[in-house]
Structure 1
Amino acid sequence: MQAFIKWTLDSIRDEGAMLSWLEESRFEWTATTAQALKQIIAGKSIVLVTDENRQWFGNYIIHAINKASTDRPMISLVRIESLLPNYSTVNGEMLDMLDDMLSLSYKDEYFFWYIGRGNDKASDLPKSHDRSFLWLMDEDYQNAFTMRSYDPLLDIKLLQLYRQFDKALNAVLFGEVTIDD
């Protein structure tokens, strides 16, 4: 069984020049992704949160992660808006109530996957949890994969990251890779 960091480097290089940008950030990528994969393997549910500009990408993930052609166990994934349709307008005490509801509903067996700008209020709840999987734009944050929202190739890079995540998920679920290192 191959170590995740080595598998990631090989996977990036297998894609050729298309993913050369990710090779530079592979240590940041592997650290955050390994944490998320460990939680998925442990049976935790994912609560997906995006900022407004990445709503399209959240929809893409929802439709892609459990598609029939992925010959693997289904992943428990829910959009925050399906739990609270007006999430984008919620703040303060209502966020605390939402957090409590999630803790009760999922018995603390969940984590947030946030994709968006770090200064967006949609990031407040995911950033308040240590176990969140954060893909942040325009903010350096501990245990987060960071990108720039003004990158003209951002949408392509997001799709490439999802593909890498999906490949890593398969590799871990099918015992090709170990993430314990």
Structure 2
Amino acid sequence: MKIRLEHQNIGAAVMQFAEHEQFTAINALKLNGKPVSNAFLINSHVAVLCKYATAPNATGEYVFTFTKDQMNTLASLLPKHDSLFFGLVCVEAGEICCLTKAEFEELLDYRKESAGKSESQYAILVTLQVGSSFRVYVNAAGRKGKYAFKQYTVHRKAFPNRIFG
């Protein structure tokens, strides 16, 4: 099998799982018997979905877009996994931001409230300044450069520790 860029970038997250002292097993996360792309079941009970962004955009944001198909998959996965995390790989920074299921859902709710409706896809934005934690947010609908409601601050060492905590 040819190595794709996706393998290299998501592999960074997999290595951090494997090197953690509480790690015991990793399997593909499946939905209706089929593997979910870039999703893993860690230690038989923790679901982790990984995405990567190669570099920040012109305003310094790593953009993680969740397409309509991915949102449909998530709609099926979220109710089935109480322990679900998102590993957002910021490639150029060499860091991985770890969001909980609750944080992810709340960010989507902020965007929905800002837009006044559900949308077919969503973008989670992550910034990282030297010596600081991640800032994670969604843009306010129709207001470029303004975030909707609340930003999350996520410690750099949260991945993979949150997953095993």
TM-score, scaled to structure 2: 0.33
Greater helix proportion: 1
Higher relative contact order by CA 8 Å / sep ≥ 6: 1 or 2?
Answer: 1
TM-score, scaled to structure 1: 0.31
Greater strand proportion: 2
